């Protein structure tokens, strides 16, 4: 049983009808209630577990075959409903609103504390980190799928990781690490480009002509020994490297401090990795320019004009 913090009503589930008709009248639904009482549950955990849409619950209800089909349908529906395309069409969200939404629901220490309080939040954060580490182990796969299937899935996942490691790929194909990086960078699934980044690159290209390399076409990447991985740059043209950094994903110093975390990753760690990436480009003889998303959005055409002048080395 859970107890409504507003009026004291006890139930297994606090539905919108309770808030609208039986409670104090301050809230129309559970979302408004949780804004006032962060971290408070709307459904009893035991009931939530019993009625949750899981593969096991669907198989129990519909059988193995139909249950598996419904599970795949559910996952596809959830994936689409969490996409920017859906939020834009359904709710009219901008990309900034979508980013803020993802930022607020990300599993971070800061969000855990906001939802559960400092003591419980820190504890839940530790449990989450331990669970994430365990899901990358062989024991996890065996526990979830059984010895034979679990072992095969574990090997398959690690094989896929290896195929994106330039060192291992170079050894496998008898090519250089640089050639392996180029091969990996040519794969379309290499990275995600936001719509605003795509717009920026296309605007630069419309003013300058075809670029030597961009993250949209023929990506340019190099092996970074300091990070022990390959890195991809947004634009490489002649002796220039341009990085278009999203304020959230790259932790714009104008909005974040070194005490913040983003999706569980300390901001100072993000900055350190970015610095190593930039230093690599400079060591290779490139001039480097970083363009922040918020600066671009403030005046797009002025930003692009300044970028073109910088590429052409005009004072």
190 pLDDT band, cuts 50/70/90, is: very low
Indicate whether 299 belongs to any domain: yes
Q: Which of 185, 178, 225, 220 is nearest to 201 (CA)?
A: 220
In terms of pTM, does the model score above 0.85?
Answer: no
Indicate whether 153 belongs to any domain: no
Query: In the predicted model, what is the mean pLDDT of residues 108-137?
Result: 77
Indicate whether 94 belongs to any domain: no
Indicate whether 217 belongs to any domain: yes
- Helices 84-91 and 64-81 cross at an angle (nearest 10°) of 70
* Domain span including residue 204: 197-311
Indicate whether 68 belongs to any domain: no
101 pLDDT band, cuts 50/70/90, is: confident
Q: Give the DSSP per-residue string, 141-205.
A: HHHHH-HHHHHHHHHHHHHHHHHT-HHHHHHHHT--HHHHHHHHHTSTTS----HHHHHHHHHHH
Write the DSSP symbol of residue 22: I
CATH number (domain holding residue 210): 3.40.960
What integer pLDDT is reported at residue 189 of this predicted model?
46
Query: In the predicted model, what is the mean pLDDT of residues 66-88?
Result: 82
Separation of alpha carbons 44 and 278, rounded Å = 50
Q: What's the total number of domains in the chain?
A: 1
Indicate whether 57 belongs to any domain: no
């Amino acid at each position: 049983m859970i107890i409504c913090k507003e009026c004291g009503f006890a139930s297994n589930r606090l539905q919108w009808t309770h808030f609208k008709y039986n409670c104090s009248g301050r809230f129309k639904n559970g979302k408004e209630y949780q804004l006032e009482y962060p971290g408070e549950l709307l459904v009893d955990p035991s009931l939530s577990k019993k009625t949750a849409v899981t593969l096991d619950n669907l198989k129990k209800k519909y059988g193995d075959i139909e249950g598996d089909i419904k599970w795949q349908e559910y996952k596809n529906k959830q994936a689409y409903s969490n996409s920017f395309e859906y939020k834009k069409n359904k709710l009219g969200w901008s990309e900034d609103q979508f980013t803020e939404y993802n930022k607020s629901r990300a599993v971070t220490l800061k969000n855990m504390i906001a939802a559960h309080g400092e003591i419980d939040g820190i504890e839940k954060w530790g449990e989450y980190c331990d669970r994430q580490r365990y899901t990358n182990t062989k024991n996890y796969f065996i526990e979830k799928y059984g010895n034979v299937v679990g072992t095969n899935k574990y090997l398959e996942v690690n094989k896929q990781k290896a195929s994106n490691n330039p060192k291992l790929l170079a050894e496998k194909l008898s090519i250089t690490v640089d050639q392996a990086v180029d091969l990996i960078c040519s794969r379309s699934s290499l990275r995600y480009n936001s719509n605003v980044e795509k717009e920026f690159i296309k605007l630069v290209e419309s003013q300058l002509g075809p670029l030597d390399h961009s993250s949209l076409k023929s990506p340019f990447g190099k092996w970074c020994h300091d990070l022990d991985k390959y890195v991809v740059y947004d634009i490489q043209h002649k002796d220039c490297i341009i990085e278009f950094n999203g304020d959230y994903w790259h932790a714009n110093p104008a909005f974040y401090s070194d005490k913040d975390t983003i999706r569980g990753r300390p901001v100072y760690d993000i900055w350190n990795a970015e610095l190593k990436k930039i230093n690599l480009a400079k060591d290779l003889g490139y001039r480097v320019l970083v363009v922040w998303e918020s600066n671009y959005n403030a005046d797009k055409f002025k930003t692009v004009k300044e970028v073109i002048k910088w590429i052409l080395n005009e004072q």
